[in-house]
C-alpha cells in the first residue's frame, strides 16, 4: 500500500472488524488497494470468510470514515486471489492470542505446514494437547476447542 492515498489509508487501517473489535483492517489484511479514479477513491477489499456478515458492516464503516474526511469513495470486493488467514499480520496473530483466541495456523503454498498441521496451541498455557469440541464457536469464523492440559475451553480462528 503506497502512493498518494496515505490520507485514506491512514484513516482506514485503524478501522476494526465488527466481530473481532481488537483487530484492525490492517491486522486482517482486508484492504487490498486504494486507487483514485475520476477523482473518486476506489477501495478494494478482500472479504474474509465468504458469507461472513461482517463484510457489509466493514464496507459502510469505510464509506462513513472517508465521508468524514470529505472523500467520496466506492468500495469494491475482490475475490481473486481469495483472502486466506495467512494474510493476518503477525501483530494480528499476537492480538488474537492475547484475547484468548488461538490464531489460525500459517500455511505454505496453500498447505498447512507439517509441524502445525491440525495442531492448535492453547492460548492460555501454550500446550498443543488440545481437542476440537465444536466446529462453531462464538461466531462462524471460529471453532471451539478445549485444552487437555489446563482444561480451559477456547476459540480457534479457523484456518482457511
Ligand atoms: Zn491450556
pLDDT of residue 3: 47
Cell numbers that stand for 33 in this block: 488497494
Q: State the span(s) of the chain assigned CATH 3.30.300.130.
A: 3-77
16 CA to centre of ligand 1 in angstroms: 28
35 CA to centre of ligand 1 in angstroms: 45
148 CA to centre of ligand 1 in angstroms: 7
116 CA to centre of ligand 1 in angstroms: 17
10 CA to centre of ligand 1 in angstroms: 37
pLDDT of residue 117: 56
128 CA to centre of ligand 1 in angstroms: 8
E strands, 13-157, are 31-37, 40-45, 73-77, 101-102, 107-108, 111-112, 130-134, 142-147, 153-157
Separation of alpha carbons 13 and 110, rounded Å = 26
Ligand 1 (ion): which residues have CB within 5 A?
A: 122, 124-125, 127, 147, 149-150
* Fold of the CATH domain 3-77: GMP Synthetase; Chain A, domain 3 (3.30.300)
65 CA to centre of ligand 1 in angstroms: 39
| Binned average pLDDT, 10 residues per bin, the chain of 160 residues | 70 90 93 90 86 80 94 91 91 95 80 62 94 84 93 91
Q: What is the pTM of this model?
A: 0.82
Amino acid at each position: 500500500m503506497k502512493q498518494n492515498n496515505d490520507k485514506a489509508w491512514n484513516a482506514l487501517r485503524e478501522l476494526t472488524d465488527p466481530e473481532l473489535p481488537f483487530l484492525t483492517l490492517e491486522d486482517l489484511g482486508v484492504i487490498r488497494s486504494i486507487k483514485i479514479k475520476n477523482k473518486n477513491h476506489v477501495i478494494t477489499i478482500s472479504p474474509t470468510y465468504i458469507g461472513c456478515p461482517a463484510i457489509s458492516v466493514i464496507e459502510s464503516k469505510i464509506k462513513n470514515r472517508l465521508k468524514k474526511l470529505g472523500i467520496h469513495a466506492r468500495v469494491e470486493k475482490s475475490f481473486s486471489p481469495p483472502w486466506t488467514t495467512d494474510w493476518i499480520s503477525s501483530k494480528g496473530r499476537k492480538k488474537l492470542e492475547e484475547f484468548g483466541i488461538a490464531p489460525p495456523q500459517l500455511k505454505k503454498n496453500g498447505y498447512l505446514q507439517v509441524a502445525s498441521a491440525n495442531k492448535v496451541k492453547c492460548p492460555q498455557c501454550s500446550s498443543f494437547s488440545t481437542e476440537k469440541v465444536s466446529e462453531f464457536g462464538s461466531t462462524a469464523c471460529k471453532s471451539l476447542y478445549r485444552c487437555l492440559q489446563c482444561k480451559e475451553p477456547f476459540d480457534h480462528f479457523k484456518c482457511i
